[in-house]
Amino acid sequence: MAQDILSQEEVDALFKGLAGGDIDTEAEAPEAQGGIRKYDLANQDRIVRGRMPTLEVINERFARLWRVSLFNFLRRSAEISVGPVRLLKYSEFIRNLVVPSNINMVQIKPLRGTALFIFDPRLIFAVVDNYFGGDGRFHARIEGREFTPLEQRIIRRLLDLVFKDFKAAWTPVTNLAPELIRSEVNPQFVNIATPTEVVITTGFDVELESGSGTFHICIPYGMVEPIRDQLTAGTTADRSEV
Protein backbone atom coordinates (compact mmCIF):
# COMPACT_ATOMS: atom_id res chain seq x y z
CA MET A 1 0.00 0.00 0.00
CA ALA A 2 1.37 3.39 -0.94
CA GLN A 3 2.30 5.62 1.99
CA ASP A 4 1.34 9.33 1.88
CA ILE A 5 4.61 10.64 3.36
CA LEU A 6 5.94 14.10 2.45
CA SER A 7 9.56 14.51 1.49
CA GLN A 8 11.71 17.06 3.32
CA GLU A 9 11.50 19.40 0.31
CA GLU A 10 7.68 19.21 0.36
CA VAL A 11 7.57 19.89 4.10
CA ASP A 12 9.82 22.95 3.67
CA ALA A 13 7.62 24.24 0.83
CA LEU A 14 4.49 23.77 2.94
CA PHE A 15 5.84 25.77 5.87
CA LYS A 16 7.03 28.46 3.49
CA GLY A 17 3.53 28.75 2.00
CA LEU A 18 1.92 29.00 5.41
CA ALA A 19 4.32 31.71 6.52
CA GLY A 20 3.81 33.71 3.34
CA GLY A 21 0.03 33.49 3.41
CA ASP A 22 -0.15 31.62 0.11
CA ILE A 23 -2.12 28.80 1.71
CA ASP A 24 -5.57 29.56 3.17
CA THR A 25 -5.89 28.10 6.65
CA GLU A 26 -9.57 29.09 7.09
CA ALA A 27 -11.82 26.06 6.93
CA GLU A 28 -14.82 26.69 4.73
CA ALA A 29 -18.19 25.57 6.02
CA PRO A 30 -19.49 22.68 3.94
CA GLU A 31 -22.32 23.55 1.63
CA ALA A 32 -25.70 22.10 2.41
CA GLN A 33 -26.31 18.94 0.45
CA GLY A 34 -29.44 18.09 -1.44
CA GLY A 35 -30.78 21.66 -1.34
CA ILE A 36 -31.18 21.53 2.44
CA ARG A 37 -31.25 24.92 4.15
CA LYS A 38 -31.59 26.16 7.69
CA TYR A 39 -35.17 26.78 8.84
CA ASP A 40 -36.38 28.61 11.91
CA LEU A 41 -38.95 26.33 13.51
CA ALA A 42 -40.23 29.27 15.56
CA ASN A 43 -41.05 31.24 12.43
CA GLN A 44 -44.79 32.03 12.50
CA ASP A 45 -44.98 31.92 8.70
CA ARG A 46 -44.49 28.17 8.96
CA ILE A 47 -46.74 27.61 11.93
CA VAL A 48 -49.95 29.38 10.94
CA ARG A 49 -50.74 27.98 7.52
CA GLY A 50 -54.18 26.48 7.00
CA ARG A 51 -57.81 27.48 7.25
CA MET A 52 -59.77 28.23 10.40
CA PRO A 53 -63.24 26.89 9.59
CA THR A 54 -64.73 27.63 13.00
CA LEU A 55 -63.55 31.24 12.85
CA GLU A 56 -65.20 31.58 9.44
CA VAL A 57 -68.50 30.38 10.94
CA ILE A 58 -68.11 32.83 13.82
CA ASN A 59 -67.53 35.71 11.40
CA GLU A 60 -70.66 34.81 9.43
CA ARG A 61 -72.72 34.70 12.61
CA PHE A 62 -71.31 38.02 13.76
CA ALA A 63 -72.27 39.62 10.43
CA ARG A 64 -75.85 38.37 10.76
CA LEU A 65 -76.17 39.65 14.32
CA TRP A 66 -74.57 42.99 13.51
CA ARG A 67 -76.84 43.50 10.51
CA VAL A 68 -79.89 43.26 12.81
CA SER A 69 -78.28 45.60 15.34
CA LEU A 70 -77.51 48.18 12.65
CA PHE A 71 -81.11 48.08 11.46
CA ASN A 72 -82.38 48.66 15.00
CA PHE A 73 -79.86 51.46 15.47
CA LEU A 74 -80.34 53.28 12.16
CA ARG A 75 -83.83 52.10 11.19
CA ARG A 76 -82.38 51.37 7.78
CA SER A 77 -81.27 48.14 6.18
CA ALA A 78 -77.60 47.27 5.92
CA GLU A 79 -75.95 44.65 3.75
CA ILE A 80 -72.80 43.09 5.20
CA SER A 81 -70.34 41.02 3.19
CA VAL A 82 -67.79 38.96 5.11
CA GLY A 83 -64.27 38.89 3.74
CA PRO A 84 -61.91 35.91 4.02
CA VAL A 85 -59.86 35.17 7.10
CA ARG A 86 -56.38 36.39 6.22
CA LEU A 87 -53.03 35.69 7.87
CA LEU A 88 -50.40 38.35 7.23
CA LYS A 89 -47.64 40.30 8.91
CA TYR A 90 -48.77 43.11 11.17
CA SER A 91 -46.77 45.69 9.19
CA GLU A 92 -48.60 44.71 5.99
CA PHE A 93 -51.99 45.16 7.62
CA ILE A 94 -51.33 48.43 9.44
CA ARG A 95 -49.75 50.26 6.51
CA ASN A 96 -52.92 49.87 4.44
CA LEU A 97 -55.08 51.79 6.91
CA VAL A 98 -56.08 55.31 5.96
CA VAL A 99 -55.88 58.39 8.18
CA PRO A 100 -58.11 59.09 9.95
CA SER A 101 -59.43 55.66 10.88
CA ASN A 102 -61.23 54.86 14.09
CA ILE A 103 -58.76 52.33 15.53
CA ASN A 104 -59.96 50.76 18.77
CA MET A 105 -57.46 48.85 20.87
CA VAL A 106 -59.44 46.07 22.52
CA GLN A 107 -58.74 43.57 25.26
CA ILE A 108 -60.62 40.30 24.74
CA LYS A 109 -60.82 38.55 28.09
CA PRO A 110 -59.63 35.98 29.02
CA LEU A 111 -57.18 36.02 26.07
CA ARG A 112 -53.86 37.76 26.57
CA GLY A 113 -52.87 40.57 24.25
CA THR A 114 -54.58 43.39 22.36
CA ALA A 115 -56.78 43.23 19.27
CA LEU A 116 -57.89 46.00 16.91
CA PHE A 117 -61.49 46.81 15.96
CA ILE A 118 -61.33 49.36 13.16
CA PHE A 119 -63.98 51.46 11.42
CA ASP A 120 -62.72 53.10 8.25
CA PRO A 121 -63.76 56.76 7.81
CA ARG A 122 -66.15 56.06 4.94
CA LEU A 123 -68.15 53.74 7.20
CA ILE A 124 -68.21 56.28 10.03
CA PHE A 125 -69.51 59.05 7.79
CA ALA A 126 -72.07 56.73 6.18
CA VAL A 127 -73.40 55.68 9.60
CA VAL A 128 -73.57 59.28 10.83
CA ASP A 129 -75.33 60.36 7.64
CA ASN A 130 -77.87 57.53 7.92
CA TYR A 131 -78.39 58.15 11.63
CA PHE A 132 -79.49 61.73 10.96
CA GLY A 133 -81.62 60.83 7.96
CA GLY A 134 -79.19 61.82 5.21
CA ASP A 135 -79.29 60.47 1.70
CA GLY A 136 -75.58 60.50 0.91
CA ARG A 137 -75.62 63.53 -1.38
CA PHE A 138 -73.28 65.56 0.81
CA HIS A 139 -69.89 64.03 1.57
CA ALA A 140 -67.76 65.20 4.49
CA ARG A 141 -64.06 65.73 3.92
CA ILE A 142 -62.18 62.70 5.23
CA GLU A 143 -58.47 63.44 4.98
CA GLY A 144 -56.57 65.59 7.42
CA ARG A 145 -59.00 65.86 10.29
CA GLU A 146 -60.04 64.05 13.45
CA PHE A 147 -63.54 62.92 14.26
CA THR A 148 -65.85 65.50 15.82
CA PRO A 149 -67.34 65.00 19.32
CA LEU A 150 -70.67 64.13 17.69
CA GLU A 151 -69.04 61.55 15.43
CA GLN A 152 -67.17 60.10 18.41
CA ARG A 153 -70.45 59.59 20.29
CA ILE A 154 -71.92 57.74 17.31
CA ILE A 155 -68.72 55.67 17.04
CA ARG A 156 -68.97 54.66 20.70
CA ARG A 157 -72.56 53.50 20.26
CA LEU A 158 -71.55 51.61 17.13
CA LEU A 159 -68.67 49.96 18.98
CA ASP A 160 -71.00 48.90 21.81
CA LEU A 161 -73.14 47.08 19.23
CA VAL A 162 -70.04 45.40 17.80
CA PHE A 163 -68.94 44.25 21.27
CA LYS A 164 -72.38 42.81 22.03
CA ASP A 165 -72.62 40.91 18.74
CA PHE A 166 -68.97 39.79 18.82
CA LYS A 167 -69.50 38.25 22.25
CA ALA A 168 -72.72 36.54 21.12
CA ALA A 169 -71.09 35.20 17.94
CA TRP A 170 -68.31 33.55 19.95
CA THR A 171 -70.49 32.15 22.75
CA PRO A 172 -71.18 28.73 21.12
CA VAL A 173 -67.41 28.17 20.94
CA THR A 174 -66.02 29.96 24.00
CA ASN A 175 -66.86 32.89 26.24
CA LEU A 176 -65.02 36.07 25.27
CA ALA A 177 -65.57 39.57 26.64
CA PRO A 178 -64.21 42.52 24.58
CA GLU A 179 -63.33 45.72 26.43
CA LEU A 180 -62.10 49.01 24.99
CA ILE A 181 -58.60 50.09 26.06
CA ARG A 182 -58.35 53.28 24.01
CA SER A 183 -58.95 54.67 20.53
CA GLU A 184 -56.59 56.24 17.99
CA VAL A 185 -56.96 57.79 14.54
CA ASN A 186 -53.38 57.31 13.32
CA PRO A 187 -52.00 53.79 12.75
CA GLN A 188 -48.51 55.02 13.70
CA PHE A 189 -49.63 55.25 17.33
CA VAL A 190 -50.88 51.67 17.47
CA ASN A 191 -48.33 48.97 18.27
CA ILE A 192 -50.06 45.78 19.34
CA ALA A 193 -47.47 43.52 17.70
CA THR A 194 -44.02 43.56 16.15
CA PRO A 195 -43.89 44.37 12.41
CA THR A 196 -43.17 40.74 11.49
CA GLU A 197 -45.68 39.15 13.84
CA VAL A 198 -48.54 37.34 12.13
CA VAL A 199 -52.06 38.64 12.68
CA ILE A 200 -55.50 37.25 11.80
CA THR A 201 -57.67 39.77 9.97
CA THR A 202 -61.17 39.86 8.55
CA GLY A 203 -62.94 42.71 6.79
CA PHE A 204 -66.70 43.27 6.89
CA ASP A 205 -67.95 45.44 4.02
CA VAL A 206 -71.06 47.37 5.05
CA GLU A 207 -73.43 48.80 2.45
CA LEU A 208 -75.92 51.42 3.67
CA GLU A 209 -78.46 53.48 1.77
CA SER A 210 -76.26 56.56 1.75
CA GLY A 211 -72.77 55.09 1.64
CA SER A 212 -70.53 52.18 2.44
CA GLY A 213 -67.36 51.30 4.30
CA THR A 214 -65.44 48.52 5.99
CA PHE A 215 -65.06 47.28 9.55
CA HIS A 216 -61.87 45.33 10.31
CA ILE A 217 -60.98 42.93 13.10
CA CYS A 218 -57.26 42.31 13.62
CA ILE A 219 -56.10 39.78 16.21
CA PRO A 220 -52.46 38.78 16.82
CA TYR A 221 -52.02 35.09 16.08
CA GLY A 222 -50.36 34.50 19.44
CA MET A 223 -53.48 35.84 21.15
CA VAL A 224 -55.63 32.91 19.96
CA GLU A 225 -53.04 30.19 20.64
CA PRO A 226 -55.02 28.88 23.67
CA ILE A 227 -58.08 28.27 21.46
CA ARG A 228 -56.36 27.50 18.14
CA ASP A 229 -57.53 23.88 18.07
CA GLN A 230 -61.14 25.01 18.36
CA LEU A 231 -60.74 27.43 15.46
CA THR A 232 -59.12 24.90 13.12
CA ALA A 233 -61.29 21.91 14.08
CA GLY A 234 -64.11 22.75 11.67
CA THR A 235 -67.77 23.36 12.29
CA THR A 236 -68.02 20.42 14.69
CA ALA A 237 -66.47 22.73 17.28
CA ASP A 238 -69.40 25.09 16.84
CA ARG A 239 -72.27 23.60 18.82
CA SER A 240 -74.97 25.87 17.42
CA GLU A 241 -74.20 24.78 13.84
CA VAL A 242 -74.48 21.02 14.51
CATH code of the domain covering residue 110: 3.40.1550.10
Q: Is 109 exposed, middle or buried (0-12, 13-18, 19+ CB in 10 A)?
A: exposed
As a whole number of Å, the CA-based R_g of the chain is 28
Average pLDDT over residues 24-52: 51
Q: Please say if the pLDDT value at position 66 is more than 60.
A: yes
Instruction: Tell whether the torsion through CA atoms of 138, 141, 142 and 148 is positive or negative.
Output: negative
Q: Please say if the pLDDT value at position 50 is more than 70.
A: no
Does the residue 34 lie in any domain?
A: no
Q: Who contacts 30 (Cβ-Cβ below 8 Å, separation ≥6)?
A: none
Does the residue 239 lie in any domain?
A: no
Q: What is the pTM of this model?
A: 0.77
Separation between Cα atoms, residue 9 and residue 225, nearest integer Å? 69
Provide the percentage of residues in the chain whose pLDDT is more than 90: 61
Q: Please say if the pLDDT value at position 46 is more than 80.
A: no
Mean model confidence pLDDT for the chain: 82
Does the residue 24 lie in any domain?
A: no
Does the residue 59 lie in any domain?
A: yes
Q: What is the pLDDT of residues 166-214, one digit of tens each?
A: 999 999 999 999 999 999 999 999 999 999 999 999 999 999 987 899 9
What's the pLDDT band for 29 if we cut at 50, 70, 90?
Answer: very low
- How many structural domains is the chain composed of? 1
pLDDT of amino acid 21: 54
Residue pair 199/219 in contact by the 8 Å Cβ criterion: yes
Provide the percentage of residues in the chain whose pLDDT is more than 70: 71
Domain hosting 75: range is 50-234
Does the residue 123 lie in any domain?
A: yes
What's the pLDDT band for 146 if we cut at 50, 70, 90?
Answer: confident
Does the residue 93 lie in any domain?
A: yes
> Rounded to whole angstroms, what are the CA distances from 193 to 97, 105, 120, 156?
16, 12, 20, 24
Separation between Cα atoms, residue 159 and residue 73, nearest integer Å? 12
Does the residue 87 lie in any domain?
A: yes
Does the residue 116 lie in any domain?
A: yes
